[in-house]
Amino acid sequence: MSTTPHVRGMAYEGALVRAAVALQATRGADLEIEATFFIPRLASGEVWPWPNFLGLEGFLSRIRFAVDAAENVFYFGPQ
């Protein structure tokens, strides 16, 4: 699906793609979940200027999660 989202105020053309993401647990059970990725359409030699990030609607809304910033820990499980 072709789309043109705005990332940090700039419009980027690209495609939305569904794929499986495997979250590996250091304790407990691993989790595999379908997620939606944005793949930008870049010109030859162009580099994506932004870091990767997790989307709420495309990924995080499909799992239960918590973040402990003080311990730098991400907790997750099935919804």
DSSP string, 1-65: -EE--EETTEE--EEEEEEEEEEPPSSS--EEEEEEEEEE---TT----S-----TTTTGGGEEE
3-class DSSP state for residue 60? helix
Q: Stretch 66-75: mean pLDDT, rounded?
A: 95
Is pLDDT at 73 greater than 90 in this prediction? yes
Average pLDDT of every residue of the chain: 89
What's the pTM? 0.68
| Mean pLDDT for the stretch of residues 16-24 | 93
pLDDT level of residue 32 (50, 70, 90 thresholds): very high
